[in-house]
Amino acid sequence: MNTTPSLSRSGTPRATGREWLGLGVLALPTLLLSLDMSVLYLALPHLAADLRPTGAQTLWIMDVYGFMIAGFLITMGTLGDRIGRRRLLMIGATAFGLASVAAAFSTSAEMLIATRTLMGVAGATLMPSTLALISNMFRDPAQRAVAISVWTSCFMGGTAIGPVVGGVLLQWFWWGSVFLLGVPVMLLLLVCAPLLLPEYRDPAAGRLDLFSVALSLAAILLVVYGLKTAAEGGSGATALGTVLFGTAMGAWFVRRQLRLPDPLLDLRLFRVRSFSAALATMMAGAVAMGGTFLLLSQYLQLVAGNSPLVAGLWLVPPALAMIISTMCGPPLAQRIGRANVIGGGMFVSALGFVLLVFVPAEGGTGMVVLGLLLTSVGLGPGAALIADIVVGSAPREKAGSAASMSETSGEFGIAIGVALLGSLAAAVYRTRVEVPEGATGRAGEEAAQQTLVGAAGTAGELPPQQAAALLESAREAFTAGLNVTAGFGIVAMVVFGAVALRMLRGAGEAVPKASEGPDEAAGGFGEPGGSAAAGESPAQADEPDRADEFVRPAESVQVTGLDADPTGRTR
């Protein structure tokens, strides 16, 4: 195995065989986190039948995991910069495995929500650590683009194999078995990480400001809770008050970060135009896909009547298409530019959402799969390119913070999508479903009016004619909710596709200039005379964003765990 770094044409050290093997290790937690989400979509009808959660509890089971990840990602990304990214990765892997076991054997909806909360906190340690390590291990812009594409494809791969693996497990075992998938993955990570991953930390970083941690978490959770309350038809005053209070906490957080010498979140990163635009675009795609994918998984089972395994198989082609399109992102960007790939892809996704707007309650499986395939193909190439823009906009010592903001945008978007679009679909369902009068008791009637799962349970207690009428009405009401949320997806894709075309044109890719030696000067981000970013034409690189204010001395980035040469590369 070649362990001696060579230099690329731009003068930056190229990754060796050790780094590429390390990338395989970093793919493990990435694969697991997406797999865990996709199998839970299929397990939802089964755990709902066993634990009997209310409509609100069902949404919390689905989205509290994403909320905790979004709430703690910034904290964990900064913490990794301080204590070491490999160390934090291994701590998180251990905690995630233990929480997964607890979730698998939950005996109530409340217990499952609590264990999903712990899984979210542990999961928040994994994503920024993996992405930050990639930015440290792959210094050459072209290699980093490929590495991030592989990393993103693994995230998509979890979505692809999750339905199949989950469908097999649900066919033969109880719903809790889907959570046990994380245990062997985390054990393998704990064995391989010390052997293949170097340790990176920023010894010049200050202490972790716990008050900032509390403010960021409060701001995110309060705003999301208020939006959920409004979408579910709760008290308008309560919803508005919660959102305003959360917004105030967010403003306090921002003000505190601007004053701290060592902020939890370095807001100067947002001065880079491409950084801000990329985060907004990523979040828009995540919102649309997060809510829609949840509804489509339920549609294939509860409306189309497929078993978990068959429903999982139907979801494989779109997921595989997303993986392939993701890997095609860098070569496409080299030909037509990253802004065109990202923006044009979102317009393709909009076509997929158009199909979903017209999905019928009967015989709509083919249209669902085709619509999801188009949205996946459209968003796939941009997913890796956007992550690369975000990480490439920050210096290496800020990689953990930048990676955490990238993941916060995506995970928070998914959580918001599940909460808001799921709540919107539920509201449409409640206005459309018709329960036969006097056909069942009050509890059964309320369950049927809340969710499609509740309607299916109530129908089992009714005479055949009334049961058929209830199920037909419930399926049509659920499909109407799906159609409405797909309309939101069209708007989001068109608007932010235009934003990407305008704001991401000329986005730089290489990391900012560092002082450790001449390797970084060539092609440095924002440097006059630097080479055009990979995937952009020279004309598109005429107006690069600058991040010179983030530059710190080379000795501020500490590399341990493996031998290092003077350039900071591992031998």
Q: What is the pLDDT of residue 523?
A: 31
Q: What is the pLDDT of residue 530?
A: 35
What the block records as the tokens of 512 is 């900012």
Q: What is the pLDDT of residue 381?
A: 83
Length of the chain (residues): 571
Q: Does some domain include residue 132? A: yes
Residues 247, 358, single domain; the answer is: no
- Asked if 547 and 520 count as a contact pair (C-beta separation under 8 A), the reply is no
Residues 243, 359, single domain; the answer is: no
Average pLDDT of 505-511? 51
**Residue spans of beta strands (DSSP E) within 328-463:** none
- Residue matched to tokens 């709902």: 48
Q: Does some domain include residue 3? A: no
Residues 268, 279, single domain; the answer is: yes
Q: Where are the alpha helices (DSSP H) in 84-140?
A: 85-104, 109-137
- Domain that residue 259 falls in: 209-263
Average pLDDT of 259-279? 77
Q: Does some domain include residue 9? A: no
Tens-place pLDDT, residues 450-491:
677 777 777 777 777 778 888 888 888 889 989 998 998 899
In the structure, what pLDDT confidence band is assigned to residue 356 with cuts at 50, 70 and 90? very high
Q: Which one of 7-11, 103-107, 293-297, 353-357 scores highest in mean pLDDT? A: 353-357
In the structure, what pLDDT confidence band is assigned to residue 529 with cuts at 50, 70 and 90? very low
- Asked if 424 and 431 count as a contact pair (C-beta separation under 8 A), the reply is no
Cα–Cα distance for residue pair 40/448, rounded to 1 Å: 22
| Percentage of the chain lying above the pLDDT 70 cut | 74
Residues 54, 156, single domain; the answer is: yes
Residue 564, classed as helix, strand or coil, is strand
Computed over every residue of the chain, the mean pLDDT equals 74
Beta-bridge mates of residue 368: none
Q: What is the pLDDT of residue 359?
A: 92
Residues 165, 90, single domain; the answer is: yes
Residue 512, classed as helix, strand or coil, is strand
For 344-373, b/e burial (b = at least 16 CB within 10 A) is bbbebbbbbbbbbbebebeebbeebbbbbb
Cα–Cα distance for residue pair 93/193, rounded to 1 Å: 11
Q: With 90 as the cut, is the pLDDT of residue 252 above it?
A: yes
Q: Does some domain include residue 515? A: no
Residues 82, 125, single domain; the answer is: yes
Q: With 80 as the cut, is the pLDDT of residue 328 above it?
A: yes
Average pLDDT of 394-412? 65
In the structure, what pLDDT confidence band is assigned to residue 249 with cuts at 50, 70 and 90? very high
Residues 135, 108, single domain; the answer is: yes
Last residue of a domain, one of 263, 292, 308: 263
Stated pTM of the model: 0.67
CA distances from 375 to 57, 87, 285, 349 (A): 29, 37, 10, 4
Last residue of a domain, one of 242, 263, 284: 263
DSSP letters along 451-471, please? Answer: -HHHHHHHHTTS-HHHHHHHH
Q: Which amino acid is at 90?
A: M
Q: Which of 89, 66, 32 lies closest to 407 in space, CA to CA? A: 66
Q: What is the pLDDT of residue 347?
A: 93
Residue 233, classed as helix, strand or coil, is coil
What the block records as the tokens of 503 is 């704001």
Residues 313, 424, single domain; the answer is: yes
**Cα angle, residue 404 at apex, residues 297 and 253 outer, rounded to 5°:** 110
Q: Does some domain include residue 175? A: yes
Instruction: Give the chain's end-to-end CA distance (angstroms, integer).
Output: 11
Residues 362, 477, single domain; the answer is: yes
Q: 83-97, 271-285, 406-420 — which is least confidently predicted?
A: 406-420
Q: What is the pLDDT of residue 367?
A: 92
Average pLDDT of 209-235? 75
Q: Which of 457, 171, 173, 180 lies closest to 308 in space, CA to CA? A: 171
Position with higher pLDDT, 30 vs 159: 30
Q: With 70 as the cut, is the pLDDT of residue 397 above it?
A: no
Q: 88-97, 184-193, 351-360 — which is least confidently predicted?
A: 184-193
- Asked if 326 and 384 count as a contact pair (C-beta separation under 8 A), the reply is yes
In the structure, what pLDDT confidence band is assigned to residue 507 with cuts at 50, 70 and 90? low
Residues 254, 120, single domain; the answer is: no
Cα–Cα distance for residue pair 473/346, rounded to 1 Å: 34
In the structure, what pLDDT confidence band is assigned to residue 13 with cuts at 50, 70 and 90? low
Q: Which of 252, 270, 261, 259 lies closest to 408 in space, CA to CA? A: 270
Quick one: angle between helices 273-298 and 464-503, nearest 10? 170
* Rg of the chain, C-alpha, whole Å: 24
Residues 258, 281, single domain; the answer is: no
| Percentage of the chain lying above the pLDDT 90 cut | 7
Q: What is the pLDDT of residue 6?
A: 56
In the structure, what pLDDT confidence band is assigned to residue 27 with cuts at 50, 70 and 90? confident
Q: How many domains does the chain have?
A: 2
Question: The domain spanning residue 152 has which CATH number?
Answer: 1.20.1250.20
Residues 243, 317, single domain; the answer is: no
- Asked if 282 and 410 count as a contact pair (C-beta separation under 8 A), the reply is yes
Q: What share of the chain is helix, strand, coil (3-state, %, to 5)?
A: 75, 0, 25
